[in-house]
Amino acid sequence: MGSSTADFRCAIQGVRSLIKNEIDADFLLPLLKGWFDAYYADREVNVAGDLRMTICHVDKVLNGGESRS
């Protein structure tokens, strides 16, 4: 795994530490969509699971209560 992939994975994981008042949806949702479109099916980067968990975390925090799982 290259350093850019490791950095990308850390960024994805970092989003999962955010709570509701730390999320700027107008910024973060398009960013997550771009990451999903660019990397979800990329077997070389292989971050699909991390992306799914991150998107679910943001959805739960914004729409269904706090999450830190």
Token pair 């992306």 in the structure block, residue: 51
> Is 16:54 a contact under the CB 8 Å cutoff?
yes
Specify the pLDDT at position 44: 79
Question: How many angstroms separate the CA atoms of 69 and 54, rounded?
Answer: 10
Question: How many angstroms separate the CA atoms of 22 and 50, rounded?
Answer: 20
Q: Please give the chain's pLDDT, 69 residues, in tens.
A: 456 888 999 999 999 999 999 999 999 999 999 999 998 888 878 899 999 999 999 999 999 865 555
Specify the pLDDT at position 45: 80
* Verdict on whether the full-model pTM lies above 0.75: yes
